[in-house]
Each structure stands twice: as C-alpha cells, then as structure tokens.
Amino acid sequence: MGAFKETKFPADAPAAQKALGWVDDRFPLTKLWNDQWGKYYAPKNFNYWYIFGSLAMFVLVLQIVTGIFLTMHYKPDANLAFNSVEYIMREVPWGWLVRYMHSTGASAFFIVVYLHMTRALMYGSYRKPRELIWLFGFAIFLCLMAEAFFGYLLPWGQMSYWGAQVIVNLFGAIPLIGPDLSLWIRGDYVVSDATLNRFFAFHVIAIPLVLLGLVAAHLIALHEVGSSNPDGIEVKENLGPDGHPVDSIPSHPYYTVHDIFGVSVFLLIFSSVVFFAPEMGGYFLEYNNFLPGDPLKTPLHIAPTWYFTPFYSVLRATTADFMWVLMGAVAAYVAFLWLKSRLAFRTKAIIAVIALVAIVGMLPQVLDAKFWGVVFFGGSVVILAFLPWLDHSPVKSIRYRPMWHKYLYTLLAIAFVALGYLGTQPPSPIGTIVSQAATLYYFAFFLLMPWWSTAGTFKKVPDRVTFHPH
C-alpha cells in the first residue's frame, strides 16, 4: 500500500484553505466540485430555456426542506391528519408559510419540469448520445408523479380523499388482477387509515430516496456526454489547444451567475404566489380540500390536481363511442406501417397480430372503455420514454427544421394545455369532443414522428454554435 501524503500549505495560508486541503486529502470534495460544475465546460450559447434544470434542483431542495418541517407536526392518522394540517396553519409559528411553500412548490416543480421537457423537445436534447439522460429524466418524471399522488392524500381533505379513491379505483379496471391490486394499494376496502399510513411512508421516505438517486444518475450521465445546446451541435467534436471545446465556457462563474438570476426571478414569482394567491384560483389548492374528508359526502366534481389532468383527460376521453374511432385509428396506423415502414416482414406481421388482438379487445363485448381508458392514460405517459427512437430528423434543433415542423410542435403544446384545462372541468359534450381530438393528435404526433420528422427541407446546421455576446 502506498504511503499517505498530506497536502502541505505555507504556515501563513488561510485557515479555510488548510481545512479544505485536509478534507481533499481524505475526500475528493474539490475534484467533485470541479468535475460536476466548477470546471465543467458547457456550450457558450445557452439561452434562458436552460435555467429550468437548475431550477428543478432548487425546487427539489425546497420541497425536501419544507417537507421535513411539515412532518414534525403532521399526524399520519385518519382521525388526526386534517386537524394536524389546520394546527400547522394556525398554531405553529410560520407553519402557514411552510405549508404554502410546500403546496405551491409541488405545482412549481411540475411547471419547471414541463418547461424543462419542452426545451428538450425543442432542441433535441434526447437525441444520441443523450438517450440515457432522457430515460433517467423520464424516470424522475414518473417518481414526481408518484410522489405528488402519494402526497395528495395526506391533508385528508375532501378532494384529497375522493381523488385518491378515484385514482386507486382505476387500477380495478385491469382484468383479473384489478380488484386485488386496488385492495393491495389501499390496504383496505376503502381509502382509510391504512391507506394514509402507507402513502405517508412512500411520500416521505421511499420515493424521495429513489428520486435523489435518479437525479444523481441524471447529472452524472449529463456531465459524462456533455450538455446539448440550442443549435444541436456537439461541441466536443471541436477541441481547442487546451483540450476543451472551443465553443464552451466553464460553468462557474458564467452559468452560476446565469442560474442565480433565474432563481431570483423564480423566487420573485414564487413568493408572489405564496403570499398573495397560494390557492391559485383552486388549481394549486382546491377549495374542497379545506373541508375534512367525508366518506359519506361525494364532491360534485372530482378531478386530480392540474399537473395530472392532461393525462386524466386522455382517460376521460376514452368513451364507448370513441372506441370505434380508436379501432379505426389503430387499423389505419398498421396499414400505414405496412406501406411506409422499412421494418422486416416478420416485425410487421407481429405488429399486425398485436393490433388485431387490440382491436378485438376494444369491442364492447370484450373489454369495456374504462379498461382502455387506463391503457391510454398510461400510454400517454410511457410514450415519452421512446422519444429518442421515434425522432429520425437529420437535425436535432428546431432552429434548422422546416417551418411546418414548428407548427406541429405548437399544436402539440396547445393540445396538451387543452387536455390539462379540460381535465379540471366537469365533463361536457363539447369538452369531450375537444379532448378526444386532442388525444388523437397527441398520440399521432409521437407515433407518426419517424416519418414526419424526416420530411421537408432542412436548413444547414453551422459548423460552430451561433453565439451573440451580450
């Protein structure tokens, strides 16, 4: 074994430098800082779409810290939970602020993550060699959805109670195992104290541990292959004499200042919401949730929190009448695959058989629309994971794609927002038709992407990133 060599400093060296040296001799603190941020070189043409990654990290820390303080006073008991939240709001010093920061932070988390994913869609940040980064990010998104779902029940308000009841009951639509699966998730025949305790354990321990591990993996994978940029150019392919990409700059101090500015703007908006509109018109905190959960009184309109409603609308749009449209859409897609796809004959045959089985299963005599609603609900989320293999465009960034590609992305954003809004509203005939049209477009956007992403006239991608000093 090699002898231990301790770093030597001059006698008049600052105490902080000596302390840091002592730590570095025993733990690679400075090396970690330099590798992950201090001397990590990032493309010099980042715009403000690139602040949402660091904002997501900031909100994660905010949620963990506020969550710790809330658990000090919260009681995970069906008879005490609602009153413990009221105690936090009314009696605990600054408890109302911590609770509103946590509830607003949940919505802020999803806003930031949705914008972060939008940037990835715009600039092709999921394309080779960043497929694993995207998959880790998708897993983080799933964890966030699980974390929000488990935390939604904890206040034990009317909407919390009935929202959890409805979502858990969805699993009952799965043939054969559905009823037993719903019972296993609840821990009882109805949402009860057993449900609250297990949801609390998942919300404060299990999911956060998995989430932190995935965030670490996401960042390590990102810094291994390097960050993308608005031009979609791989800056690592053009190195300077110093061995660093000529079109990159150290993250610190340049992007440290950049991100601090972004965090400052975020905190200004976040604080305005916390202090002046924490309910945000019933979207962040539903008014029914200020009433204790009552198993004997069902709210007139039960809907999940807004960040689930785009996918919830897909489920609600899957009606018995709409199934005939979906059967036609599946048949048309398989016919299109046979005519346009370069897949092997055997692969096409397997897809055709699966599609035929699905079409038969969509018949009302076989499986009801509720089951297929759950399938499309899950499919609308899972399809995002396959994005790196669906996009075959010769360029990564939307900057160099045909103009009509931008219109398709804009329509996707409109469809997603429309689904989200309609999911918060009571069902109506017009709303159902709009949500069905938006659902068809949402799936068509991704399932037809291998063909439309290669069509049209593309602009020439420059050899160097486009950068305008400011």
457: which 2 tokens? 């006239």
In the chain, the amino acid numbered 74 is Y
Separation CA 185–CA 219 (nearest Å): 32
Both structure tokens of 322: 């709409």
The binding site for heme b comprises: 102, 116, 203, 218
Instruction: Pinpoint the alpha helices (H) of 171-308.
Output: 178-186, 193-201, 207-225, 256-276
How far out from the chain centre does Cα 194 lie? 28
Kind and range of the H or E element at 250? strand 248-250
Tokens coding 355: 């599609």
SS3 state of residue 72: coil
Calpha distance 187→427 (Å, rounded): 30
**Nearest in space to 329 (alpha carbons), one of 391, 383, 376:** 376
d(CA 107, CA 109): 5
The two three-digit tokens of residue 406, written as one number: 């931008």
Neighbouring residues of 187: CB distance < 8 A, sequence distance ≥ 6: 194, 195, 197, 198
Binding residues: 102, 116, 203, 218, 223
Residues 6+ apart with CB under 8 A from 296: none
Cis omega before residue 427 (within 30°)?
no
Enumerate the known binding-site residues for a ubiquinone.
223
Of the candidates 277, 111, 78, 80, the residue with the CA atom closest to the CA atom of residue 193 = 78
Assess contact for 58 and 270: CB atoms under 8 A: no
